[in-house]
Amino acid sequence: MSVTYLEAIRAAQARALAEDPRVFIYGQDVGAFGGAFKATKNLAREFPGRVVDAPISEDAMVGLAVGAAIEGMRPIVEMQFADFSTAGFNQIVNQAATLFWRTEVPCPIVIRLPGGGTSGSGPFHSQSMESVYAHYPGLLVFTPATVEDAYSMLLEAVALDDPVIFCEHKLLYYHLKAERLPTEALPAGKARVTRPGRDLTIVAYSAMVHEALAAAAELQPEGWEIEVVDLRSVKPLDTDTVVASVARTGRLLCVGESWPWGGVTAEVLARVASEGFELLDAPPQRLNAKDTPIPFHPTLWAAHRPTARSIAAAARNLLRS
């Protein structure tokens, strides 16, 4: 018996619905159809009236969720693709993010964003939105990289009183598997040292954790011990774990699938440079998607996002500097 990343997300939602009558799911085709990626498969049947189809308006979806939260509900909003959340951007960053700070009424909503690249999906179905939402105070941004984290962090997101942007990675949906669902978990906001090392710290999150682990495995026969830190949530950002890792290794490479400009990797480098400058034995580096819209062509797409190979190449340069 094994469980996929997608099944873990479905299982977490089923448990949240079962355990808390205030929880409901709202999104396009989440009901009878089971969602664009089947993350809500059969939930409408299991929880009648609590898994509700929405009109094709992200603006309306989030607006309704904010209103329901004000009335004491704990909605989970599913975006079909993370890219489409921009159509509800105003409700997310101006209403949901600021609500508690304006009114002291909490806004316990979870917005699930299936994001990240899959081959051939092009500019409107591949984007990674975590850097954009992390910019806004009042929002929490979770980026689970493992089946276990997808399950436990989604449950935690539902339980939290703050609005959470829950970034799921589509590449992980079907292929990433675990033996069973977890019974215990690290709290969100704590990074995890996924692989201990000595020579270089690679900080990553979401699908890039797996690319970083593959790069670390590629570099091991060359004599390099690479430490991989999984941020798990990009906001809050666990600076302490990152700086502690750099203290061990002296070198930092931060990898993110979103664009470089003002993003998560820039924030990690800025924090390490300002809080741990004297720990660095080489200039901190980062690797992001190329600073262009995401290409359709599979060959271009493969060159556009960081991969194990490009991460290993960047790591070699950094290790030799």
Partner 1 sequence: MPQIPIIMPQLGESIAEATIVNFSVQAGDTVEADQNVVEVETNKANLTVTSPCRGRVRQWLARVGESYPVGAVLGYLDATAEDAARVGLDTSGPAGAAAAADLNGKSEGGRPAQPPGVEPIVRGLPVPASAGGASYMSPRLKARMAELGLHAADLAGVAGSGAAGRVTVQDFERFVAGLETHRMTQASPMRVSVADAMRRSWTRPLASVGLPFCLDPILAHRKASHPKAAPTLYGLRALALALAENSAPAGRLVGQKIVHPKAIDIGWAVEVEDGVLVPVLRNADRFTLRELIPQYEALLEQARQRRLSPEATGGSIATVTNFGTFGLTWATPIPLPEQTLVLGMGAGRRVPHWSAEKHQFVPIMEANLTLSFDHRVLDGGAAGRLLTRVVHLLGHPERL
Q: Which residues are marked as active site?
A: 125
Q: Which is nearer to partner 1, 161 or 281 (CB)?
A: 281
Q: Which is nearer to partner 1, 34 or 284 (CB)?
A: 284
Q: How many CB atoms lie within 10 A of CB 45?
A: 11
CB-wise, 31 or 284, nearer to partner 1? 284
For partner 1, which is the closer residue by CB, 237 or 279?
279
User: Smallest distance from the beta carbon of 257 to partner 1, in angstroms?
Assistant: 28
Burial of 291 from C-beta contacts in 10 A (0-12 / 13-18 / 19+): exposed
Paired with 318 in beta bridges are none
> 70 φ, ψ to 5°?
-60, -35
> Judging by DSSP bridges, how do beta strands 23-27 and 3-4 pair with one another?
unpaired
- Minimum separation from the CB atom of position 320 to partner 1 (A): 6
- Cβ of residue 321: shortest distance to partner 1, in angstroms? 5
Minimum Å gap between C-beta 269 and partner 1 is 14
CB atoms within 10 A of CB 240: 11
Least distance between partner 1 and beta carbon 223 (Å): 12
Distance CA 310, CA 307 (A): 5
Contacts by residues 132-135 (CB-CB < 8 Å, ≥ 24 positions apart): 132/258, 133/92, 133/93, 133/165, 133/235, 134/234, 134/235, 134/264, 134/267, 135/262
Q: Exposure of 118 by Cβ count < 10 A (0-12 exposed, 13-18 middle, 19+ buried)?
A: middle
What residue ranges bind partner 1 (CB under 8 A)?
Answer: 199, 250, 277-282, 320-321
Based on CB atoms, which residue is closest to partner 1, 261 or 277?
277
Min dist. Cβ of residue 243 to partner 1 (A): 12
User: Which of 71/278 has CB closer to partner 1?
Assistant: 278
d(CA 150, CA 142): 9
